[in-house]
Structure 1
């Protein structure tokens, strides 16, 4: 096949290459490609001239328009800071009830609270505040010290077993490790506590042991958990009759809690966050509880 031969079907000349009877055509580049290249080149040249672009020495070409993204960002931050200062001042001065009654402030609480909660609380309580093992579900379970807004604010401020002089103090005694109860007694007590939240687990064969565990509970536990085992907010003792368990609700988990004791810890956030930030977290948490609360007979445990 000779170079320059014209294909009878397309009218294009051939290149002189042929494979298995297939001749390669010398097809020209489509015109739209040239249009694209010219347009792209013109745009690139215009952008290079108008906007900050090529560096040189210790500086860079600032562009004919004089656009400065650093100044634009600084201005945006300054405007946001000024706007934030306005509503942060309002949150700082107003009480919780006033803030809750203000739709605009509560919108900010929901937005800013999500960030504050995620940065400071989610590591322990989970992003949805429904807890992890060893940390209570604070989105659904009734609060250990009560869920009145001012009470929650105080708990967040002073913490639990924290460093604040007025911190909440709570400790589950190690009845087995300290020798107050024998292992057999701890086992009986664990069986009774398990039956409080799961009555279906009681069988005819276990009723006698459950009764013995109940006697042990009356002797050792009612001072903190109450005669009905539903806890006392005065001491932060959890309700033992519901399905919310901080350290696990299996019989083995309950046995370990009774035997070895528990002493949780929550930081005293008053030393780390501003009063306004603590208000935001408190109100955000109360909003979560409105959305995620489920009917229950008792409290967090």
Structure 2
């Protein structure tokens, strides 16, 4: 029992670490390569590794119509969402990118309310309002090199597509194994990159990425696309949704600190204040779920 709990704790900590460092990996990956080619290389390198893992684990990759539909839906959370994320590296720091992804639960709540008539508690609406205030403080803190409003808009598009993709996968309900779903989604993402070629070919890398850029691309492929996926689906089966959702509160602040430490990203008082207000909004959003979880643990 203790070893099982230790395994869950390690997976949880590893997932937070990977999600907190992935935005920095994305920012570093575009320092020596055009941002669209950094994205393309990430999926091209991830696909053979994912296929190899399927072979080693003896997991089949179904190709019936429902599975193909699910792969297409899943690819939206990969290539569809990440296109906007990689473009936003021109306007946002890695910490701000992570902070924007922290809004995913709130955006999911709004989409669920508007499209699926899901009920939202009063504390969730208040939490959203607080988060919007925090976002406003960040947006109007001054258009520095690392925080520009256009980047925030791009990331809102990215996170919204990511959330819609999750709803879409649930709607299709293809009953696929997580590794098969991920591999199929990566495969469709690679196919989408083929259609991107006429628009990005002029930026084809003339040399192999070096230094930080090469390390970041490999990190994004191995850790962000594969290891994080394994940890996430492992935790989905082991911990409550509330506990897993708390990663969205912890990750952004850790990412901001990592970006400031390793990438010398500027942190003004207004940006820090806005980030703290936004994260407080997230805590308010999850307040009743946290209380319910605490009561459940006491029983």
Same fold (TM over 0.5): no
Normalised to the residue count of structure 2, the TM-score between the two structures is: 0.23
| Larger RCO of the pair (alpha carbons < 8 Å, separation 6+) | 2
Kindly indicate which of the two structures has a greater share of residues assigned to strand: 1
Greater Cα radius of gyration, structure 1 or 2 = 1
Kindly indicate which of the two structures has a greater share of residues assigned to helix: 2
